[in-house]
Amino acid sequence: MPAIHFLDVTNRDGVQTARTGLSKFGKIMVNFYLGKLGVAQSELGFPFLFHEVPYIRASVALAGAGAFGELRLSGWCRAVPGDVEAAAPLGLRHYNLSISTSDQMIAHKFRGKLDRDSVISEMVAAVRAARDSGAQTIGVNAEDGSRTDDGFLLEFATAAREAGADRVRYCDTIGGETPDRIRERFAKLAAAIRIPVETHCHNDLGMAVANSVSGALGDLDAGQDAWVNTCINGIGERAGNADLLSCILAFSHGFGVAGKAPIGDPLDRSWARRFGWWASCAFGQPLPQNQPGVGRNAFAHESGIHADGALKDRQNYELYDDDTLGPFPDDWFTRSGRVVLTGEYGGKAGFRHVMEGLGIQIAGGDEDLAFSLVQMCASASGKPLADDELRLIGSYPRQLALLFPGVTS
């Protein structure tokens, strides 16, 4: 039976958000929270970029040690063999390879360097390079797929499948899709190529979540699994991407959607609120009070009719339980009054006090390394370290040390 899966792109598309940023340690924490939440796959970044290499090595080591649960890590590359060949030594086993397919971008982005035939030949060569490097799964991205005509989109997707791709990503790059149209296009394309078509929806019209749900339903209509791209809190370029937690809630509780197919990822929604609030702090983007599920007002009632009804039975005015999303974070560094913290400029006494207070046990011989990592990670993020960050440092110091080559030893 077809199932729904989530492939989060916060560490690739989300970090490209203008006027914000995320440290490499922050990107590791995104993978940590995605693993705790139970998401299938994280597009962890750009393995062909020199400044991503230590982070990707650390992430691969952490994944191997079990820090991210069953989360799969995939690298995003341009659909050119050189990018894949540069990424191969890092040990990634999952890839997404991207190239533009619309006439608009072929004419006005490539400007004569590529035509339709060469777009396909470049993509096919990149897929084969990924297979030769030992890739277990490969997704091929049709950038600007929503402005690519049906005929060429089918030709491109068929060539991707025949070259060995497992999925084709349909990118609504400028966010112009609408729910009815995307469902119809997904159903038609997925039925023709007989592999899943993956949603990648931007929010320029405020419909990224609706379009992601509808595109996934098109996959299910064709008897294929649905793969849904998301970003935590809906961050992303321009107006953002489809919000991870909103999509999870939609597939779990949406009328006419919930129950259409099982969610194939072992989701633990009790991590949802912690993840959303951590990301808000890490990215420096405050959560709106009305953010679905995790905003301060998502379960708040004031007007007389609503308050009366909610007090009688919360189901009168609430679609799902507040408890399912987990608690609001209550981290050590947020304590008021007299408190001893650990961070960039802290010493051993404060470090031991906090780690012992949180019940974090560090493996014998690794205390000095963990202490150095607390200083380095706090310096990298420029923010106080959350309890979950300290727990990751204390549990996996040797793998995390790969993030700072030549500094920690």
pLDDT value at 252 more than 70: yes
The confidence score (pLDDT) of residue 123 equals 98
pLDDT value at 376 more than 90: yes
pLDDT interval class at 408 (50, 70, 90): confident
Helix and strand totals (H; E) in the chain: 15, 8
pLDDT interval class at 409 (50, 70, 90): low
Residue that the structure tokens 């609504």 belong to: 172
Q: What is the mean pLDDT of residues 356-373?
A: 95
Q: What is the mean pLDDT of residues 40-60?
A: 97
The confidence score (pLDDT) of residue 363 equals 83
| Residue ranges covered by each domain of the chain | 4-272, 332-403
Q: Judge whether 184 and 144 are in contact, CB under 8 Å.
A: no
Q: Judge whether 71 and 40 are in contact, CB under 8 Å.
A: yes
Q: How many CA atoms lie within 13 A of 6 on its CB side?
A: 31
Q: What is the mean pLDDT of residues 362-367?
A: 91
Q: What are phi and psi of 288, to 5 degrees?
A: -60, 145
The confidence score (pLDDT) of residue 76 equals 98
Q: Judge whether 72 and 40 are in contact, CB under 8 Å.
A: yes
pLDDT value at 82 more than 70: yes
pLDDT digits (tens, 9 = 90+) for 183-237: 999 999 999 999 999 999 999 999 999 999 999 999 999 999 999 999 999 999 9
Q: Judge whether 270 and 326 are in contact, CB under 8 Å.
A: yes
Residue that the structure tokens 């940590």 belong to: 32
pLDDT value at 39 more than 90: yes
Q: What letter does residue 231 receive in the DSSP assignment?
A: B
pLDDT digits (tens, 9 = 90+) for 258-298: 999 999 999 999 999 999 999 999 999 999 999 999 999 99
pLDDT digits (tens, 9 = 90+) for 136-165: 999 999 999 999 999 999 999 999 999 999
Q: What is the mean pLDDT of residues 308-323?
A: 92
The confidence score (pLDDT) of residue 97 equals 98
The confidence score (pLDDT) of residue 293 equals 94
Output the pTM of the full model.
Answer: 0.97
3-state helix, strand, coil in the chain (%, to 5): 50, 15, 40
d(CA 354, CA 390): 9
Q: Judge whether 63 and 28 are in contact, CB under 8 Å.
A: no
Q: How many CA atoms lie within 13 A of 260 on its CB side?
A: 23
% of the chain surpassing 70 pLDDT: 100
Q: Judge whether 200 and 155 are in contact, CB under 8 Å.
A: no
| Number of other residues whose CB lies within 10 A of the CB of residue 352 | 15
Output the average pLDDT for the chain. Answer: 96
pLDDT interval class at 167 (50, 70, 90): very high
Name the CATH architecture for the domain at 4-272.
Answer: Alpha-Beta Barrel (3.20)
The confidence score (pLDDT) of residue 407 equals 79
